[in-house]
């Protein structure tokens, strides 16, 4: 699976199609923004109630907590399961047959489209940031942390995309994989530490969460942004993300090889 | 030189066996019983460069499954395939450069894009040089009369327009091999004719090898010298269409009508017919015969009748292809 090879000019067109799709489904994007802002509003209220009169819990000031929530809300807006939805649609309609007689692999086409959509969304960030600044806070960290955060953000995207790719590929085994999507959706945001950061999680839960890839999507980049992960902690966070990037990549490649032998084209 | 060869091709599909009886839906959820359905059962075939071969069979015969293995979409359970010297499912991306595919039941164009942009994307995906792409697009626009809807988004095209767009998409990068899976399904007479003419022209000009599945025997009569008939995953017939006709419908049908005063004469003529003629109907002024040409010449039969009765109308015909095919499908075998 040489899916990183973006040299085929057709893939660039598919990428552009992904970018344009975000704007074709504008209403959907706007709704996504509203949902994210509402969620942030809610989370902030909850955490302010939890903090009560205290300025700081376990060495985490309330301001840091609000910034953390703002960053995870932002990540939630950017890291969408579009690739799994697209794959499920194409399996369900038997369109995957057509995709497989192209000179560019199926997975590469799907990745190009989904990276395009992500790029479109990231351009659309302009829509979200003002709202986030009103409801939350995005106090910029030191330039060094910002730079590391951007690197971490890219890895968070890749990990999230690979997880959704795997959910998408599960469609080759399950006729209706929408249940899989909802489960992973809920699990990834909770076990990713986007609503409750890992530092507040009870010990047993935290150990489980640290063994799972979801923290690489939300918790690790957000804790780098708010500089809760600094120095060796920061490098450790990047290392965990890099590990999951590689590991999930291998799992996805293996799954895809198996999926091809299982392929059943729906509808003759 | 064979462009497509398949040897002992087999494809099994497994599925969970549905449980019957009470609470069957719930019980199916927990059942582990699998059943295997053999869609293609030992198909061997070979298609030479420049041939147009009709691949026929009733619904569920295994036609589409075969095509999907030949195009590299499905991996066979056993058997070998070579398309232009390559194993399709092991070299999917390289194989894709050699083949053009049309699935009549679905489109390979992008729903959201105008037809022209879809074609451009395909041109770029197949790494066509810009001027080559332009030349091909102009040629195909002319041949398939796509001018009026080049700028229309694919989702708004009529079925006939979409099918023309799909054909253009399959040939624009000039592949040496074309797989057409029901390219005329659902089209009206005029649209079908246009597509047949196009396939004919592409085959004549580029010596493109074509494997075509269809349920429309006019497609076959018009395009294919050779046909392969399969049913229940097995090849029933592989040979020239004319040969199938000779074998199945060697007889000619002769219908005669005589004038009102020739009724008795016709009755007499019917009694005196030469050997090799069978009367299928006889009623007053009209009579129909089936003539076996290897035993008696049709002209001899006509001469014998006209010597006795005043013929006013006569027609000689052979049996239609679809009658033959229907008979084969029903009998599920070809007599040899």
Give the range among A128-137, A152-161, A202-211, B255-264 with minimum mean pLDDT: A128-137
| A126 in reach of chain B (CB within 8 A) | no
Residue A119, number of CB atoms within 10 A of its CB: 15
Residues of A in contact with B89 (CB under 8 A): 260
Dihedral angle computed from the Cα positions of residues B256, B260, B263 and B264, in that order, rounded to the nearest 10 degrees: -140
Contact at CB, A97 and B103, closer than 8 angstroms: yes
Task: Determine the pLDDT at residue A6.
Answer: 65
How far is residue A94's CA from residue A225's CA, in Å, rounded to a whole number? 43
Task: Determine the pLDDT at residue A163.
Answer: 95
Distances from the Cα of B62 to the Cα of B46, B57, B238, angstroms: 17, 8, 15
> What number is the average pLDDT over the span A229-243?
90
Segment B83-121, tens digit of pLDDT = 999 999 988 889 999 999 999 888 999 988 999 999 999
The alpha-carbon gap from B148 to the nearest alpha carbon of chain A, in Å, equals 24
| B124 in reach of chain A (CB within 8 A) | yes
For chain B, the three-class secondary structure string (H helix, E strand, C coil) is CEEEEEEEEEEEEEEECCCCCCCHHHHHHHCCCEEEEEEEEEEEEEEECCCEEEEECCCCCCHHHHHHHHCCCCCCCEEEEEECCECCCCCHHHHHHHEEEEECCCCCCCCCCEHHHHHHHHHHHCCCCHHHHHHHHHHHHHHCCCHHHCCCEHHHCCHHHHHHHHHHHHHCCCCCEEEEECCCCCCCHHHHHHHHHHHHHHHHHHCCEEEEECCCHHHHHHHCCEEEEEECCEEEEEEEHHHHHHHHCCCEEEEEEECHHHHHHHHHHHHCCCCCEEEEEEECCEEEEEECCCCCCHHHHHHHHHHHCCEEEEEEEECCHHHHHHHHHHHCCCCC
> In chain A, where are the structural domains located?
9-262
Segment A9-19, tens digit of pLDDT = 899 999 999 99
pLDDT band at A3 (very low <50, low <70, confident <90, very high): very low
What ipTM was predicted for this assembly?
Answer: 0.82
> What number is the average pLDDT over the span A232-253?
94
Residues of A in contact with B67 (CB under 8 A): none
Task: Determine the pLDDT at residue B11.
Answer: 93
Task: Determine the pLDDT at residue A268.
Answer: 52
The alpha-carbon gap from B260 to the nearest alpha carbon of chain A, in Å, equals 57
How far is residue A148's CA from residue B217's CA, in Å, rounded to a whole number? 67
Task: Determine the pLDDT at residue A115.
Answer: 93
How far is residue A266's CA from residue A261's CA, in Å, rounded to a whole number? 15
Residues of B in contact with A264 (CB under 8 A): 13
Of A105, A263, A268, the CB nearest to B74: A263
Task: Determine the pLDDT at residue B249.
Answer: 67
Share of chain A above pLDDT 90, in %: 40
Please identify every stretch of chain B with a pLDDT value under 70, giving residue numbers as ranges. Answer: 18, 24-25, 27-29, 31-32, 249, 320-322, 332-336
How far is residue B265's CA from residue B82's CA, in Å, rounded to a whole number? 64
Query: Using CB atoms and an 8 Å cut-off, which of residues 213-232 of chain A contact chain B?
Result: none
Mean confidence (pLDDT) of chain A: 87
- The answer to whether residue A50 scores a pLDDT higher than 70 is yes
- The answer to whether residue A1 scores a pLDDT higher than 70 is no
The alpha-carbon gap from A252 to the nearest alpha carbon of chain B, in Å, equals 19
- Which tokens is B273 given? 């017919």
Task: Determine the pLDDT at residue B158.
Answer: 93
Interface test with A, best of B105, B117, B121 (most A CBs within 10 A): B121
The alpha-carbon gap from B15 to the nearest alpha carbon of chain A, in Å, equals 10
Contact at CB, B125 and A100, closer than 8 angstroms: no
- For β-strands B234-240 and A60-61, DSSP reports them as unpaired
Task: Determine the pLDDT at residue B334.
Answer: 60
Query: Using CB atoms and an 8 Å cut-off, which of residues 81-110 of chain A contact chain B?
Result: 93-95, 97-98, 100-105
Segment B180-227, tens digit of pLDDT = 999 998 888 988 999 999 999 999 999 999 999 988 888 888 899 899
| A264 in reach of chain B (CB within 8 A) | yes
The alpha-carbon gap from B97 to the nearest alpha carbon of chain A, in Å, equals 6
- The answer to whether residue A108 scores a pLDDT higher than 60 is yes
Contact at CB, B106 and A98, closer than 8 angstroms: yes
- The answer to whether residue A107 scores a pLDDT higher than 90 is yes
All domains in chain B, ordered by first residue: 52-78+85-246 (3.40.50.300), 250-318 (3.30.70.1150)
How far is residue B240's CA from residue B254's CA, in Å, rounded to a whole number? 25
| B122 in reach of chain A (CB within 8 A) | yes
- For β-strands B277-283 and B286-291, DSSP reports them as antiparallel
The alpha-carbon gap from A173 to the nearest alpha carbon of chain B, in Å, equals 11
């Amino acid at each position: 699976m040489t899916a990183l090879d973006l040299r085929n000019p057709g893939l660039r067109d598919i990428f552009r199609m992904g970018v344009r799709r975000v704007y074709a489904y504008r209403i959907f994007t706007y709704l996504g923004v509203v949902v994210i802002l509402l969620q942030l509003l809610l989370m902030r209220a909850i955490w302010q109630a939890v903090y009560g009169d205290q300025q700081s819990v376990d060495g985490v000031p309330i301001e840091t907590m609000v910034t953390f929530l703002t960053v995870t809300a932002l990540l939630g807006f950017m890291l969408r399961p579009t690739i799994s939805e697209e794959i499920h649609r194409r399996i369900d309609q038997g369109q995957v047959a057509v995709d497989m007689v192209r000179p560019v692999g199926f997975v590469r086409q799907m990745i190009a489209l989904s990276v395009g959509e992500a790029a479109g969304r990231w351009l659309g960030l302009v829509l979200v940031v003002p709202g986030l600044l009103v409801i939350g806070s995005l106090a910029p960290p030191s330039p060094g942390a910002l730079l590391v955060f951007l690197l971490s953000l890219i890895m968070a995207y890749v990990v999230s995309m690979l997880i959704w790719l795997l959910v998408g590929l599960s469609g080759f085994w399950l006729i209706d994989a929408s249940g899989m999507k909802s489960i992973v959706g809920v699990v990834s945001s909770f076990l990713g530490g986007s609503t409750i950061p890992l530092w507040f999680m009870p010990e047993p839960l935290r150990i489980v969460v640290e063994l799972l890839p979801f923290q690489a999507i939300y918790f690790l980049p957000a804790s780098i942004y708010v500089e809760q992960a600094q120095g060796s902690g920061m490098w450790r966070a990047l290392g965990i993300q890099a590990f999951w990037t590689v590991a999930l990549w291998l799992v996805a490649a293996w799954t895809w090889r198996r999926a091809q032998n299982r392929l059943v084209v729906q509808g003759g | 030189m064979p462009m497509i060869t398949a040897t002992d091709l087999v494809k099994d599909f497994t599925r969970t066996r549905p449980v019957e009886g009470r609470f069957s839906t719930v019980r199916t959820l927990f059942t582990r019983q699998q059943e295997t359905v053999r869609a293609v059962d030992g198909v061997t075939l070979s298609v030479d460069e420049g041939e147009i071969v009709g691949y026929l069979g009733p619904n569920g015969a295994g036609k589409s499954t075969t095509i999907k293995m030949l195009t590299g979409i499905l991996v066979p359970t056993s058997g070998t395939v070579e398309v232009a010297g390559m194993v399709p499912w092991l070299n999917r991306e390289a194989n894709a450069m050699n083949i053009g595919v049309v699935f009549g039941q679905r489109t390979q164009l992008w729903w959201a894009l105008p037809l022209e942009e879809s074609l451009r994307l395909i041109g770029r995906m197949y790494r066509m040089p810009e001027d080559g792409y332009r030349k091909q697009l102009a040629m195909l626009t002319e041949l398939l009369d796509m001018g009026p809807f080049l700028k229309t988004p694919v989702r708004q095209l009529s079925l006939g327009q979409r099918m023309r767009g799909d054909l253009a998409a399959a040939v624009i990068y000039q592949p040496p091999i074309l797989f057409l899976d029901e390219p005329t399904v659902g089209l009206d007479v005029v649209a079908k004719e246009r597509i047949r003419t196009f396939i004919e022209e592409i085959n004549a000009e580029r010596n493109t090898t074509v494997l075509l599945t269809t349920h429309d025997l006019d497609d076959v009569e018009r395009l294919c010298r050779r046909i392969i008939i399969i049913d229940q995953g097995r090849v029933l017939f592989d040979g020239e269409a004319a040969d199938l006709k000779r074998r199945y419908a060697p007889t000619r049908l002769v219908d005669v009508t005589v004038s009102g005063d020739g009724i008795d004469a016709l009755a007499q003529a019917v009694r005196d017919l030469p050997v090799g003629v069978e009367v299928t109907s006889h009623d007053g002024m009209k009579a129909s015969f089936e003539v076996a040409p290897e035993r008696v010449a049709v002209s001899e039969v006509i001469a014998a009748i006209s010597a006795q009765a005043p013929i006013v109308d006569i027609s000689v015909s052979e049996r239609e292809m679809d009658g033959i095919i229907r008979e084969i499908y029903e009998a599920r075998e070809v007599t040899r």
